[in-house]
Amino acid sequence: MADQPPNPESRIKLRDGRYLAYKERGVPKDDAKFTIVLVHGFGSSKDMNFNVSQEFVEETGIYFVQYDRAGYGESDPNPKRSLKSEASDVQELADGLQIGSRFYLIGISMGTYTVWSCLKHIPQRLAGVAMVAPVANYRWPSIPKSLMKNDYRREVLKWSFWIANYFPGPLHWWVTQNMFPSTSMLEKNPLYFNDQDIEILKHTKGFPMLTKERLRERGVFETLRSDFLVAFGDWDFDPADLPDPSLSGPKKSLSSVHIWQGYEDKVMPFQLQRCLCRKLPWIKYHEVPKGGHLIVHYEGVCDAILKSLLLGEDLPMYRPKSVIIEP
């Protein structure tokens, strides 16, 4: 685009006047065999680390677009953020960068609610989809009560949502006080992360937007709050009701949809993902045996994600241990 500065970190203007910042990786766009839009998670940015080997990227011919979702990094906030606006942002980004009528989409952690929205609203634009360590919304009607009954995460999310929705001022004050755990304490907490996750966090930046210094910025706080409220609020659809996107559009419009889950994920339990995939048999389910929530950082996992998504390879080591799925 002529009005974009010639550097790897640029912005495009959306129809509503907001700007989205993006970053390009991999082979040059015009030489690519595969184009992938990467969607970051909570407290992250376009600078997230998708740990794929450069050799594989070059051999396969992959061009990546990583962007700051609304309000994150260098992107403008969206006071009207919604499920649908997240999908619209992805579509406008793709159009603005002229990456073609169809592209691959990969979402990480809480960024997967953007992916679900794209599957709902713009399935015709998707060549294939992967969701890595996806979050689930306990308000989805399809989640059986038996799976939620003794899940402490449901209660934590329920009260966190209520406070964030009705008491944003006191919440902002509280998270910036010394009584609130620091980011480093959260990152070392075995309540959220398994041993491999904690080891990973010793060598990565973790969650830069969740530090007390950044949270004191009202704009940062409001971005995180709005993101959380949309992800875990009332949705206008249940993912379990989505039709097979490969059958709802032009022939071969979408190759496959994948979910990658850590068996030891303490943020979102594997039982929820297995249950959802039973209801949606067109999703290919992969499970990392000793994986926690940060599997996107594990050596070899991102290569496996791309081999499965782009090349159709089925790696036995990531098949679920058991075919039994909770009712």
Q: Report all structural domains of the chain as residue ranges with CATH numbers, in order of start.
A: 9-144+235-318 (3.40.50.1820)
Q: Summarize pLDDT for 128-162 with one digit per residue, the tens.
A: 999 999 999 999 999 998 888 888 888 888 888 88
CB-based burial label for 249 (10 Å; 0-12, 13-18, 19+): middle
Mean pLDDT of 194-208: 81
- C-alpha 65/C-alpha 20 separation (Å) is 12
SS3 state at 101: coil
At a CB cut-off of 8 Å and minimum separation 6, what does 54 contact? none
For residue 243, give the DSSP letter: -
Q: Summarize pLDDT for 241-298 with one digit per residue, the tens.
A: 999 887 765 555 567 999 999 999 999 999 999 999 999 999 999 999 999 999 999 9
At a CB cut-off of 8 Å and minimum separation 6, what does 181 contact? 189
Rounded mean pLDDT of the chain?
87
For residue 273, give the DSSP letter: H
pTM over 0.95: no
- Give yes or no for residue 323 having a pLDDT over 60: no
CA distances from 31 to 101, 161, 308 (A): 16, 45, 21
Mean pLDDT of 180-195: 64
Q: Which amino acid is at 126?
A: L
- Give yes or no for residue 9 having a pLDDT over 60: no
Quick one: pLDDT band at residue 325, thresholds 50, 70, 90? very low
Mean pLDDT of 231-236: 95
